[in-house]
Amino acid sequence: MPQVLRIAADRGAADGQHDREIFPGARPGQSIRRFCIYLISIEGALLDAARRDMNSLYLLLSLDPASVALLFWFTLLFDVPRYVISLSVAAIFERNDLPPLKRTTTAIVAGHNEADTIRACVASIEADQIIVVDDGSTDGMWNVVEQLKSEGLVHKAIRLPIRSSKVTAVNMALANCTGEVVFIIDADTILEPGAIDAALPYFADPQVGGVGCELKVENENATLTTRFQAIEYTISISMGRQVSDALDLMPNVSGAFGAFRHSALQRVGGLDMEVSEDAALTMKLRNAGYKIRFARGAVGKTRVPETLTGLTLQRLRWDAGLITIWCRRCIGNISPFSPNFRLIEALLILDVIWFSIILPLVFPIYCVWLWGQIGEFAFTLLAATFLGLIALDILVCVIARVPFRLFPYVPLYTLMQNLVMRLVRITAMVGELIFMYSRRDDHIPGQQRWRLS
């Protein structure tokens, strides 16, 4: 018995009364002896666990390249290409500032029950014409809009008697636009100074039909959930869209803040009734032969969900669009026999399908396969993968210029992206494929759902 435990046993034997208080009926010193045996058993268990961890680490480090490729095939097929492509494009393609361009502009702000945010949104817009559409609000938003119009901040105000959807509101405003470039802005988005002018230079190219703008999180410091989204928006919307822009693979102009050539919107018939109406409009423009660009300096700040529940509900709706837009609406365009086939469009659709649809669906299959092949050692491999992804995400954050104050939350970002958000996406896609939940989504008012494509 170790010296410290022998001393403890001797002291316990000298205090039999204390032993009997702890273990009634025990003989003098017996309780301490039992406690010593318990400590020794814990020590043995910890040593066994340490040996297993050392064995797992030794096994991991002793893998040959073929075994690494076999065991990490999911990471090599899905994760590594994403990082390699993003980092390579960011390193190779330099951002060229375009000369300023003057165009007449119209901003459309459509909102439902946005009385608390509509004033700040309108006040931040530097457009020649501002049209606000109240989509059947019941919180007094119309009173605020009328006040803004009386102050000269809103040029035209439209009120829908009942909630009719953002698509209906925006299409109604389009009929009243006078600007050559139309900005569609959510009522809870606040533009930074110069945001409108920063998007205009891209329209010097007559083939450009839409320009995606940069989004940042306005309520970044509210919760851990908003800090995760702040990192996500910087990487996915800022750096990710820059990479897509460089490769001419821009899949979406965000509905929160985006710019469009007025004539292009008229040519394609405005917005279609879809849950992901922004992605549907973007693909309509691409199919019509227009280019889609990204303006990094055109910055808008938007409020994001502050709770995990709110974020989950938002992403269930967003991710359902992967099925409604890319699988049901656009999948046929990858066929060379389709009248809308173009190689660059086929590559865009395949990019979305591979990284946004197949990747999350294959992940749980990979985890089950890994457990079946190597048992508990799978946890070691997944932990090693997670640490590697954290290192890559830190590198991406440096290149994407994520604010340093957010760096401590990068492990949370990696965990959320690779576990939580993947499970949410799987749930959304499976639910849409089997039950077509988008047909019952409250985002589209009941009387308008018959118009869903």
Q: 421-435 and 308-321 helices cross at what angle (nearest 10)? A: 50
Q: Are 402 and 413 in contact (CB under 8 A)?
A: no
- 354 shares a domain with 289: no
- 103 shares a domain with 14: no
Summarize the confidence of residues 380-404 as an average pLDDT: 93
What is the reported pTM?
0.85
Within-domain flag for 50: no
User: Sorting pLDDT into bands at 50, 70 and 90, what band is 29?
Assistant: low
- 422 shares a domain with 310: no
8-12, 246-250, 253-257, 306-310: which range is least confident on average?
A: 8-12
- 84 shares a domain with 31: no
Within-domain flag for 177: yes
Q: Where in the sequence is the domain holding 202, given as residue range(s)?
A: 96-315
Is residue 213 helix, strand or coil? strand
Domain end: 299, 315, 331, which one? Answer: 315
- 114 shares a domain with 209: yes
Within-domain flag for 52: no
Within-domain flag for 54: no
Domain end: 266, 299, 315, which one? Answer: 315
- 100 shares a domain with 85: no
Within-domain flag for 299: yes
Q: In total, how many domains does the chain have?
A: 3
Within-domain flag for 262: yes
- 291 shares a domain with 278: yes
Within-domain flag for 325: no
- 137 shares a domain with 13: no
* Residue 255 pLDDT greater than 50, yes or no: yes
- What pLDDT sits at residue 448? 82
Distances (CA, A) of 407 to 168, 254, 394: 41, 26, 7
Tokens of 143: 């009173």
The rounded mean pLDDT for the chain is 87
- 118 shares a domain with 165: yes
Burial letters for 382-410: b for 16+ Cβ neighbours within 10 Å, e otherwise? bebbeebbbebbeebbeebebeeebeebb
- 241 shares a domain with 103: yes
- 399 shares a domain with 281: no
- What pLDDT sits at residue 20? 45
* Residue 337 pLDDT greater than 50, yes or no: yes
- 131 shares a domain with 1: no
